[in-house]
Amino acid sequence: MAQQQHISLPAKLINGGVAGIVGVTCVFPIDLAKTRLQNQRSGQHLYKSMMDCLIKTVKSEGYFGMYRGAAVNLTLVTPEKAIKLAANDFFRHQLSKNSGGLTVFKEMLAGCCAGMCQVIITTPMEMLKIQMQDAGRLAAQQRVMPCVVLKMGGASTVLSRSYNATPACQVVRASATDITRELVRAQGVTALYRGLGATLMRDIPFSVVYFPLFAHLHQLGQRSSVEPSVPFYWSFMSGCLAGCVAAAAVSPCDVVKTRLQSLRKGVNEENYNGVVDCVRKILRKEGPRAFLKGASCRALVVAPLFGIAQVMYLVGVGEFLLGYLPYNTSY
């Protein structure tokens, strides 16, 4: 990509932030369904499918129930997507400086570095988001079995107070700010990085698969070597396909991460002591198929999310705002 010989990191950060906000706004309800399906154990029949989960969520929590936890996601997705996309651009640029080109290995290495960088924001963002998203599932479980007492897995008192059902089976939800404050006060900042290992285990392979695949698919859409611009729809399709493949590849890791980061446990739901313990218990109690729970939802989330994100990123909003030429004037 000849246009990237001189990149502006601030512009790339703006592009990544705008891309993340637009993408998350469009697909967040499906992400909520994914979290609830992944946390649902064998023998529980609260949600039969993604659509069943969304319909029941709207009926019990209203339309905005589908956006439970969206605020924290929209707040932190700007730095998260900015770091991920800008870091990949930066490392690709650095790795291609001397040789004048990128091998597949270097593309994978750039993706690996981008995945490592993003977990600084991704881990606490998803930690808080999951607590908000899963509250409705636990509330529904309590309505079915009103005598259930939720296990908190070492969580703070505000979480226990806010997510245990009242006699009327109504759940008083804590805000992300309340959860953050209580977790930090009780266990320190490290409490927000619960499941860091599982997040790395998911995001590094994802980036290793996604970025090289997207780059090659995107390159196929070039009109000619003289005119390297790519049509709008091709960028979107490339992002969707690459995102779908990468999401499917790491879906088992995402299940493990979700289970580890869920502080509240319902009936017959146990705590996990790390990645290995989580994998062992899931295999023993639920079988290998449990690692594919929510896989279709995750693919439906990631595919349009990264399709939208890549288009917004390549439009060059950051370059425009900072007075540079747009990344791709064909848009």
pLDDT band with cut points at 50, 70 and 90 for residue 3 = very low
Residues 31-84: tens digit of each pLDDT: 999 999 999 887 777 888 999 999 999 998 899 889 988 888 888 887 887 888
Q: Is the pLDDT of residue 151 over 70?
A: no
pLDDT at 241: 95
pLDDT at 5: 44
pLDDT at 168: 44
Is there a domain that residue 125 lies in? yes
Is there a domain that residue 114 lies in? yes
pLDDT at 77: 80
pLDDT band with cut points at 50, 70 and 90 for residue 280 = very high
Q: What letters, b where the CB count within 10 A reaches 16 and e where it falls short, cover 42-75?
A: eebebbeebeebbebbeeebeeebbbbbbebbbe
Please report, rounded to a whole number, the percentage of residues in the chain having pLDDT higher than 70: 83
Is there a domain that residue 26 lies in? yes
Is there a domain that residue 78 lies in? yes
Average pLDDT over residues 123-151: 77
Residues 70-110: tens digit of each pLDDT: 888 888 887 887 888 889 988 998 888 877 678 899 999 99
Q: What is the CATH number of the domain that holds 204?
A: 1.50.40.10
pLDDT at 73: 85
Domain hosting 227: range is: 2-134+191-321
Residues 160-188: tens digit of each pLDDT: 544 444 444 444 466 788 888 988 998 89
pLDDT at 46: 85
pLDDT at 313: 74
pLDDT band with cut points at 50, 70 and 90 for residue 322 = confident
Is there a domain that residue 156 lies in? no
Q: How many domains does the chain have?
A: 1
Is there a domain that residue 158 lies in? no
Q: Is the pLDDT of residue 291 over 70?
A: yes
Residue 206: burial class (beta carbons within 10 Å; 0-12, 13-18, 19+): buried
Q: Is the pLDDT of residue 216 over 80?
A: yes
CA proximity to 294, closest of 261, 258, 246: 258
Is there a domain that residue 308 lies in? yes
pLDDT at 145: 60
Cα separation of 282 and 274, whole Å? 12
Structure tokens given for 322: 């900072």
**Degrees, nearest 5: CA angle 122-165-130:** 10
Mean pLDDT of the chain: 82
For the chain, how big is the Rg over CA atoms in Å?
21
pLDDT band with cut points at 50, 70 and 90 for residue 251 = very high
Is there a domain that residue 162 lies in? no
Q: Is the pLDDT of residue 250 over 90?
A: yes
